[in-house]
Homo-oligomer: A and B are copies of this chain.
Amino acid sequence: MSETLEKVAVQTEESRTQTRRAFIKGGLAVAGTVMFTKAAEAAYDPKSAVKAYAGKKEITDVLTDGPQRRMLGKGIMSSTYSMPSVYEKEVRKRTLEWLTPDTLATISMTPIQSMHGMIVPNGLHFDRFHGGAPDIDPATHKLVIHGLVERPLMFTMDDLKRMPSVTRIHFLECPANGALEWKGIQVNSVQWTHGMMSCSEWTGVPLSVLLKEAGVKPEGKWLLPEGADASGLVRSIPMEIALDDCMVAYAMNGEALRPGQGYPIRLVVPGCEGNMWVKYLRRIKVTDKPLHHREESSKYSELMPDGTIQRFSWVQETNSVITYPSPDYKMSGPGRYVAKGIAWSGRGRITHVDVSLDGGRNWKEAKFTSVALPKAWTRFEFEFDWDGSEMLLMSRATDETGYVQPPMAQLRNAVGTNGVYHRTAMVTWLIHDWKGNRAGEIENVQF
């Protein structure tokens, strides 16, 4: 910015006495004199990614003061916690009632199709409960670190909040995201195909700081974190991961964790399966071997084609999805579109995303529209012209390790069809022929 623009000292100025009324009148006067020429209207390209109206009548109407300009708004004077607009009431987490046995073990999925950017607001972060949501008073909650340590330690919430902290943005994903796709169940919403996932800013104490203070004994190689809730979920976490970038988090997106997210504290295990991010954390036991707990045998392990069980497939591999156009929307006719999507990898940064319009035969690179942070959602966009004929829309992400998101057939060949977890292959949206009887529809096809 130039210095002239930066600081302009104005001594006298006739406009200083200008009142609001005068300005509104001025605005209306100008509206009346907007020049609409045939040339200008013709020059506007309806094929542009910008869809806009350039005619005279309606614009003049809009420039006339609307009712809100002539009416004072609602007054506000109190201690408040704001809520979304009433017009946004359809943007909600949703459960599939038949998917889980009862209300104590539910999955509430994030409306990915309505999300923008990298951050999911706390009210819409997906929830997975294994024993209902406990009521925990932070004033009495404690965290214990014990087992193979020099000094077993106990922390109050105040202790934890007064310690060194770190803040990072990371996605959190259930490995069962996309499970219905494994089972050949066609679900026509990104909320159901990818909604067991959110991305938030987490703040907490680096686990390495806590472990250093407790003094891990040489034979201490694994951690067993356990929550204070009824679920008894425990995961075995190798010391290598624990000392890397894990944290004991007390805040998400700036405020305390929500009850569904482990209030008052949870483990954050960036890039790894959501169930390892143990909620309502009450103790971490240091051991010399993994526990092979129920939650890493009956659940969260993979039945391979040869009958073996693959355990400890912790990392959420490179993945991506186009959220618009997607089965939650309809095409509005041939023309230019901006495809919008999310890419993420449990191994680090996303380095590029390609988009295919023909079911994976040809690929073109998409543009990032957000910063690409490690183990976080990265936003991409891709402009394309649709001529109205049938189209197979796909995205393919690559991360900094060089891992390329595979097509479904390749993943199926590698791990078989017994599994429930880690369906990280590409998804394909079929855009139906504009001249056909399903014109405008967008369908999730197993491809």
| B residues near A24, Cβ cutoff 8 Å | 232
| B residues near A103, Cβ cutoff 8 Å | 75-77
Known contacts A23-B291, A255-B84, A255-B114; A34 and B146 CB within 8 A of each other: yes
A188 within 8 A of B: no
A250 within 8 A of B: yes
Known contacts A66-B282, A312-B5; A79 and B54 CB within 8 A of each other: no
A412 within 8 A of B: no
Known contacts A117-B251, A164-B338, A310-B8; A293 and B85 CB within 8 A of each other: no
In the complex, residue of chain B having the shortest beta-carbon distance to the beta carbon of A312: B8
Known contacts A10-B311, A88-B256; A292 and B81 CB within 8 A of each other: no
Interface segment out of the listed A176-184, A352-360, A365-373, A385-393: A365-373
**Nearest-Cβ distance from residue A431 to partner chain B, whole angstroms:** 15
Known contacts A8-B310, A230-B68; A254 and B121 CB within 8 A of each other: yes
A229 B9 Cβ-Cβ under 8 A: no
B337 A162 Cβ-Cβ under 8 A: yes
A108 within 8 A of B: yes
Q: Which of A9, A106, A311, A383 has the most CB of B within 10 A?
A: A9
Which residue of B19, B40, B165, B309 is within 8 Å of A381 (Cβ)? B165
Which of chain A's residues 23-59 have a Cβ closer than 8 Å to chain B?
A: 23-24, 27, 30-31, 34-36, 40-41, 43-44, 48-54, 58-59
A95 within 8 A of B: yes
Chain A 79-92 interface mask (CB, 8 Å, partner B; 1/0): 11111110110011
**Nearest-Cβ distance from residue A232 to partner chain B, whole angstroms:** 4
A400 within 8 A of B: no
A266 within 8 A of B: no
Which of chain A's residues 195-247 have a Cβ closer than 8 Å to chain B?
A: 201-203, 209-210, 213, 215, 226, 228-230, 232, 234, 238, 240-241, 244
Which residue of B63, B68, B74, B241 is within 8 Å of A280 (Cβ)? B68
B282 A62 Cβ-Cβ under 8 A: yes
| B residues near A324, Cβ cutoff 8 Å | 162
Which residue of B118, B167, B253 is within 8 Å of A379 (Cβ)? B167
**Nearest-Cβ distance from residue A76 to partner chain B, whole angstroms:** 5
B106 A154 Cβ-Cβ under 8 A: no
| B residues near A81, Cβ cutoff 8 Å | 83-84, 92-93, 123-124
A312 B7 Cβ-Cβ under 8 A: yes
B253 A121 Cβ-Cβ under 8 A: yes
Interface segment out of the listed A134-142, A403-411, A438-446: A134-142
**Nearest-Cβ distance from residue A247 to partner chain B, whole angstroms:** 11
B117 A203 Cβ-Cβ under 8 A: yes
A163 B85 Cβ-Cβ under 8 A: no
Chain A 122-161 interface mask (CB, 8 Å, partner B; 1/0): 1111010101111111110010101100111111101100
Which residue of B19, B36, B142 is within 8 Å of A294 (Cβ)? B19
Q: Can you name 12 A-B pairs with beta carbons within 8 Å?
A: A10-B301, A18-B292, A18-B294, A20-B294, A36-B152, A44-B153, A69-B228, A80-B127, A84-B122, A117-B254, A121-B254, A163-B338
Additional A-B contacts beyond A75-B132, A76-B106 (11; CB < 8 A)? A1-B240, A1-B244, A18-B294, A23-B232, A30-B146, A30-B147, A43-B151, A59-B144, A62-B144, A72-B132, A123-B123
